[in-house]
Amino acid sequence: MLTPKRWRLDSETGVLKDVLLCPPQHYHWIDTNAVAHATLSSGAPPDPKRRLSQYHELEAALVAAGVTLHHTVPEPHLPYQVYTRDSSQTTPWGPVLTSLAMPQRRGEYASLLKFHDQYDGFFKYSTAGTVEGGDIHIVRPGLLIIGHSGIRTSEAGAGQFAAPFAAQGWEIKKIPFAEHFLHLDVLFCMAAPRLAVACIDVLGDAFETFLNDRQISVIRASYAEVMAMSCNLLALGNDRVISPAHSTRLNAALRAEGITVFDPELDEFARGGGSVHCMTMPLLRGPI
């Protein structure tokens, strides 16, 4: 029997109680993904003041939803440290330190070690291949979905991460996809226990059937929407989500399903290749 640590969760949609963030003092777009490359190629000017305002909007939405905020300490040479989802992943047995693929981000591990040393440390350390939190979806007790592009998350990294879940009898669904889409959470996120947002045009009808067979319905997102990070949302539990304001059509569809949507402006971060799901690492959730 595995003994759970303080920080733990067994779903993407239980009531979010604690979350790990990183302030964006040193954030700027870097050419490490297709979205950021397009932004930089366009010559779009960054707006640091707007960026900070948007980050504070996100924090305010989390606080309004009753979430306790925790922060790592940003370092000047780590501009994408704000995307805390990738560098660790909370599991039913505690946090796992993941293995980041991009050289520009590998130093993010140090702030995670410092943060978790205040509590009871990590459950596991990823040592095989690469695995990043944006590809990991602990959908509900007994069901893990993990994406692998071969770049950000490799098959070896996905397999090592999934091993403790498989040992406990969980169903494991591995999803290959093109590296162009960065992480699986660009293409798929859970909004509520029986509701997901996903780009079926990319992930395929068989994936939608897989979800439907497990009583999860899908709001379909278009290619254009996912490349604008509109699918990248955070479930808060109790049929509430945080979703970026520019995701107007999907937010309307979520509200039509009875979901309460908090919608901060986050386009400064979306243009760097991430949004609210990327910027938040849930530490503790209640049961569903």
Task: Look at residue 255 and give its three-state secondary structure.
Answer: helix
- The predicted pLDDT at position 33 comes to 85
Cα 219 to the chain's mean position, in Å?
Answer: 18
Q: What is the mean pLDDT of residues 39-48?
A: 89
H runs (alpha helix) in the chain: 34-42, 48-64, 109-116, 155-167, 200-203, 205-213, 223-227, 248-256, 267-270
- The predicted pLDDT at position 4 comes to 72
| pTM more than 0.85 | yes
Would you say 90 and 58 are in contact if contact means Cβ atoms under 8 Å apart? Answer: no
Backbone angles phi, psi at 4, to 5 degrees: -65, 145
Total Cβ atoms within 10 A of residue 74:
17
- The predicted pLDDT at position 105 comes to 96
Query: Given pLDDT bands bounded at 50, 70 and 90, which one contains residue 206?
Result: very high
What is the sign, positive or negative, of the torsion defined by CA atoms of 90, 95, 101, 104?
positive
Q: What is the mean pLDDT of residues 227-255?
A: 98
What is the sign, positive or negative, of the torsion defined by CA atoms of 92, 161, 84, 249?
negative
88-91/195-198 β-pairing: unpaired
What residue has token string 């501009």? 79
Query: Given pLDDT bands bounded at 50, 70 and 90, which one contains residue 1?
Result: low
- In percent, the amount of the chain with pLDDT more than 90 equals 93
Q: What is the mean pLDDT of residues 30-42?
A: 88
Question: Distances from the Cα of 217 to the Cαs of 168, 176, 184, 224, 287, in angstroms?
Answer: 26, 21, 18, 21, 20
Region at 108 (left for phi over 0; alpha for psi -120 to 50; beta for the rest) = alpha
- The predicted pLDDT at position 2 comes to 65
Cα 34 to the chain's mean position, in Å?
Answer: 17
What residue has token string 């040479």? 77
Query: Given pLDDT bands bounded at 50, 70 and 90, which one contains residue 54?
Result: very high
Domains of the chain, first to last:
18-285 (3.75.10.10)
Cα 136 to the chain's mean position, in Å?
Answer: 8
Q: What is the mean pLDDT of residues 275-280?
A: 98
Summary mean pLDDT of the chain:
96
**b/e string for 140-149 if b means 16 or more Cβ within 10 A?**
beebbbbbbb
Q: How many CA atoms lie within 13 A of 197 on its CB side?
A: 32
- The predicted pLDDT at position 125 comes to 97
What does the alpha-carbon distance between residue 146 and residue 127 come to, in Å, rounded to a whole number?
Answer: 17
Which stretch of 35-44, 141-150, 222-231, 252-261 has the lowest confidence by average pLDDT? 35-44
pLDDT at 209 over 70: yes
- Contacts (Cβ under 8 Å, ≥6 apart) of 25: 74
- The predicted pLDDT at position 39 comes to 86
What is the sign, positive or negative, of the torsion defined by CA atoms of 22, 43, 244, 286?
negative
